[in-house]
Amino acid sequence: MTHANLVLTPGDGIGPEVVGAALQVLQAVADRFGHTFHTQEYPIGGCAIDAFGTALPAETLEAALKADAVLLGAVGGPRWDDPSARDVSAMYPSPIAMRPEQGLLNLRKSMEVFANLRPVQLYPELLDASPVRPERLQGVDLLVVRELTGDVYFGEPKLRRVVNGELQAIDTMSYTEHEIRRVAHIAFQLARGRRKKVSSVDKANVLESSRLWRQVVTEVSQAYPDVSLEHVLVDAAAMYLISRPASFDVLVTGNMFGDILTDEASVLTGSMGNLPSASLGQVQNSLGLPRGLYEPIHGSAPDIAGKGIANPIGTIMSAAMLLRYSFGLLVEADAVEGAVKQAIAGGCRTRDLGGNLNTQQMANAVIAHLGI
Ligand code: IPM
Ligand code: MG
């Protein structure tokens, strides 16, 4: 019997709906396997800006740092898209005004979750929902390991200024050796449990930070002679993800390239609503396991928010990763993943997948298939 502390940060848009669905699944797991998950909910993102004037309130951060794991929904929305009018210099170097996304970025950075695991697995019954031809999808089973706390997302300087009478904006793409090394080790270790192939994605023909990336990944690869390594330029990788996605096993890449490529990879599965993620680092939780941040890769989907029709699979599968990595509940994680697969095989589909189930009905279907 496991006692664990789970912090929920549902966030904005469809976030509360999909986190609510995943929480029901986690509660069903707790009941059926005899565990106790203590859950507490905290604001993050746009709703936190509205209520507290900051996208990551101190109480939210404090709770997340104490938790065994954090399950997050989504942040952002058109309501907070023009932050220029707001006076928010507290969290970010001025003159950049606060956006909901900064709450998430600061949470990732503060939790030190530098490795973002985004598995892309196909459900055979959903092949027709993919924009890519079914024959190209045969055998697709890839894992993107996206570096999450560095790169142009966090590099300094990051600013706006007036130069020669016009506005200039600067972001800085920066990587240090240790940032690259630690995420590369994770990619190689994960590849060992899979098909033993790492594809490192960079833009080394243009960017200095990518040349360092390639150099350090190559050095790290020496410690894993059983794992093959290839280097792929990001533009080519974007093409290969469509033209021969099954050729990839583990992809390891920087924060920005990983963000872009995982949206692309997600539609191979028919809908980006299906994709989960786990963000891990070296910090351990009270169970002696990695303290992780778990979130679907999709956004807040303001167009369907509040309608109860969002696809909860990405968040439910994130909850399965949470059970596996942060709670050490491997059988339970397998049970959730198996239940999702069976529900989909049995024809359960939300609207994004061409069906007509709502969020609650999809969650019910998964819980029904937990079948313990
Ligand atoms: C993601 C999202 C975030 C990111 C946004 C919401 C800041 O797109 O998790 O992929 O860019 O990392
Ligand atoms: Mg993204």
Q: Which residue has the tokens 């600061």?
A: 106
Q: Which residues are 159's β-sheet partners?
A: 170
Residue 157 has pLDDT above 90, yes or no: yes
Q: What is the pLDDT of residue 182?
A: 98
Spatial CA neighbour of 315 closest among 68, 32, 10, 69:
10
Q: With beta carbons less than 8 A apart as the criterion, state whether 267 and 131 touch.
A: yes
Q: Would the CB of 104 count as within 6 Å of ligand 1?
A: yes
pLDDT at 218: 99
Q: Is the CB of 76 under 6 A from ligand 1?
A: yes
Res 89: pLDDT:
44
Task: Convert the pLDDT of each residue in 160-177 to its tens digit.
Answer: 999 999 999 999 999 999
Q: What is the pLDDT of residue 84?
A: 65
Query: From ligand 2's centre to the CA of 282, what distance in Å?
Result: 23
Supply φ then ψ for residue 269, to 5 degrees.
Answer: -85, 0
Q: What is the reported pLDDT for 1?
A: 80
- Per-residue confidence (pLDDT) for residue 254, from 0 to 100: 98
- Ligand 2 centroid–CA 263 distance in Å is 6
235 is catalytic: yes
Closest ligand by atom to 301 CA: 1
Whether 263 is catalytic is yes
* pLDDT grade for 44, boundaries at 50, 70 and 90: very high
User: Which of 101, 114, 253 most suits a substitution to test ligand 1, by most atoms within 8 Å of the C-beta?
Assistant: 101
Minimum CA distance residue for ligand 1 atom 12: 259
Residue 46 near residue 77, CB atoms below 8 Å: yes
Contact predicate 232/200, CB 8 Å = yes
Residue 91 binned pLDDT confidence (cut-offs 50, 70, 90):
very low
Question: Percent of the chain scored above 90 by pLDDT?
Answer: 93
- pLDDT per residue as tens digits for the range 92-124: 443 346 899 999 999 999 999 999 999 999 999
Q: What is the pLDDT of residue 98?
A: 84
Q: Is the pLDDT of residue 87 over 50?
A: no
Amino acid at 171: D
Tens digit of each residue's pLDDT (9 = 90 or more) over 281-338:
999 999 999 999 999 999 999 999 999 999 999 999 999 999 999 999 999 999 999 9
The angle, 0 to 180 degrees and rounded to 10, between the axes of the packed helices 177-192 and 208-221 is 40
Distance 259 CA to ligand 1 centre (A): 6
Mean per-residue pLDDT, 4-23: 98
> What is the pLDDT at residue 288?
98
> Quick check: 41 pLDDT over 70?
yes
Q: What is the pLDDT of residue 83?
A: 63
> What's the token pair of residue 309?
């029709």
Closest-lying ligand to the alpha carbon of 260?
2
User: How far is 296 from 313, CA to CA, in rounded Å?
Assistant: 8
What pTM, to 2 d.p., does this model score?
Answer: 0.95
- Locate the ligand 1 atom nearest the alpha carbon of residue 116 and give its number: 9
Per-residue pLDDT tens digits for 128-146: 999 999 999 999 999 999 9
pLDDT value of position 371: 75
Band (82; pLDDT cuts 50, 70, 90): confident
- Of the candidates 48, 46, 59, the one whose C-alpha atom is nearest the C-alpha of residue 100 is 46
For 192, other C-beta atoms within 10 Å of its C-beta total: 13
Q: Is 259 a catalytic residue?
A: yes
**pLDDT tens per residue, range 249-260:** 999 999 999 999
Share of the chain above pLDDT 70, in %: 96
